[in-house]
Structures are given as C-alpha cells and as structure tokens.
C-alpha cells in the first residue's frame, strides 16, 4: 500500500534559488528509506515539507491520498512523527515525562492512557531512568532519545528522522539502530551517517543540489564509490574496511 506520494515537487525559500527541483517519490507501507546527500542538498527541507512545516511549494505531496496543505495538517500529523535534527527545537517542557506526555495529552488521551503511552515509549527507547530528569540536565545524546520517545508516544504510522544519530555515543547509536529496526511502519531517515543508513534502510535516495540523482537498493548505492564521490560523499566505513 502506497502511503507517501510526491509529484513534481519544487521548493525555494522566499523566492531564492530552488532548494528542491522536480522531486518525484513514492514510499509504500513498511519501507525504511534513507535520504543521503552532502550539506545543503535538500534532505532536511524534504522532510519538513512532508510533515507540513514548510509550505508554498509547487507540485503535490500526498499522505494516504490526502494532499499536504494547511487544512489537512491536523489529520496528517496524527499519522506522522518528526524527529528534529536539533533536539532543542523539539523539546520545550521542563522535564522528560512532560515532554513525552505532551502529544498524547494534546490529542485528548486520558491521564491513564497518556501514562501508558509514555511508559511504553520510554521502555522502547530504553530511557526509563530519565523519567524525572529536567531537560537542561540531559546530554545531547539523551535529548535525542527523549525526542524519539516523544514521537513514539502517539505510535505514529510514519516516522521522519533528521540526522538521528548526531550527538550519540557508540552505545546509544547502536541502541538507536536496534530501536529503528524494531519499529513497524514507514521510516524515512535523512543522515550523513551512511553506516547507520546501511544498517537500517532497505532503500536509499541520493539527493544532490536539490535533485534526486539515484534511488534504489541501499547496499548497491552505498557501495558505489564513484557515485558517492561525484556527489560529495564517501564510502561507509563498512565498505572501506572490506
């Protein structure tokens, strides 16, 4: 079942040079998609457009055949969770529990149901010990995991993640990979961490200068040294060591 469909998408910030040009993309049920490209390629912009954080684009973005626009955002965002690249842009409550509980409360869950959702999300991300911690006391890696738990609290059908492994130490990075591989539903991951993409994504999309250069099997794309170097990237360490 097709869940995300993008046709002839073009976007620029306030009339400046286009950031994305003629993007055409279809994502089906159960797929985990990696989006790769050098800085400024348009990866983060694409995620923000899918979840409706940016508007004034041309072309079409549909979630379950519903076009992403101002009048449909409320319903669409019940299906999509978005993990920001900068956790400080996402976390705004004073402590961990309240931040994770915010979305269920906002959607009208009962106190009992909210607590169940928060406990489940914290257990999934393995941060039960942070439950009563103040946000300002957390490390960058801990904030990233709390941000993911906050998204998982409403059990979204689609999860968008922007540089999710940034600021994570090796242990928490491996924890994140295991979490992502255990979560059902669509996941779209934009990242410079090509080894993480290799470990989590079935399919990968390479973007350069706002255009899709190639899409297909993750291993095939990430093992293509010439393709990656032509687009400002390097082989993942996994392939360098082979």
Distances (CA, A) of 4 to 129, 156, 242: 36, 14, 35
Average pLDDT value for residue range 26-48: 94
Residues 44-63 as b or e (16 or more Cβ within 10 Å = b): bbbbbbbbbebeebebebbb
* Structure-token pair, residue 13: 């910030």
* Structure-token pair, residue 23: 């993007």
pLDDT score at 167: 79
Q: What is the mean pLDDT of the chain?
A: 92
**96-106 helix and 140-152 helix, angle to the nearest 10 degrees:** 20
3 state SS of 226: helix
pLDDT score at 127: 94
Q: Percentages helix, strand, coil for the chain, rounded to the nearest 5? A: 40, 25, 35
DSSP 8-state assignment for residue 235? -
pLDDT score at 25: 95
How many helices and strands (H and E) does the chain possess?
Answer: 10, 10
Average pLDDT value for residue range 28-41: 94
Q: What is the DSSP string of 148-172?
A: HHHHHTT--SEEEEESTTTT--HHH
pLDDT at 241 over 80: no
**Tens-digit pLDDT profile for residues 92-106:** 898 999 999 999 998
pLDDT at 118 over 60: yes
DSSP H or E run through 206: strand 203-208
Average pLDDT value for residue range 193-207: 96
């Amino acid at each position: 079942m097709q869940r995300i469909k993008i046709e002839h998408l073009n976007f620029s910030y306030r009339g400046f040079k286009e950031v994305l040009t003629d993007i055409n993309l279809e994502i089906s049920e159960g797929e985990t998609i990696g989006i790769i490209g050098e800085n400024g390629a348009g990866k983060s912009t694409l995620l923000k457009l899918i979840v409706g954080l940016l508007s004034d684009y041309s072309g079409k973005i549909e979630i379950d055949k519903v076009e992403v626009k101002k009048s449909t955002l409320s319903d669409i965002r019940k299906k999509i969770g978005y993990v920001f690249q900068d956790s400080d842009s996402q976390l705004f409550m004073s402590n961990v529990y309240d931040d994770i509980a915010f979305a269920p409360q906002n959607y009208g869950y009962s106190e009992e149901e909210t607590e169940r959702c928060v406990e489940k999300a914290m257990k999934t991300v393995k941060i039960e010990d942070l439950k009563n911690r103040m946000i300002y006391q957390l490390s960058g890696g801990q904030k990233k995991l709390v941000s993911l738990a906050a998204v998982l609290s409403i059990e979204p059908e689609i999860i968008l993640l922007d540089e999710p492994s940034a600021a994570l130490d090796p242990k928490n990075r491996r924890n994140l990979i295991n979490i992502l591989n255990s979560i059902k539903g669509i996941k779209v991951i934009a990242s410079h961490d090509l080894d993480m993409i290799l470990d989590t994504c079935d399919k990968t999309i390479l973007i350069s200068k706002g255009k899709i250069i190639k899409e297909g099997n993750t291993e095939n794309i990430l093992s293509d040294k010439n393709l990656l170097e032509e687009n400002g990237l390097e082989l993942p360490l996994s392939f360098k060591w082979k």
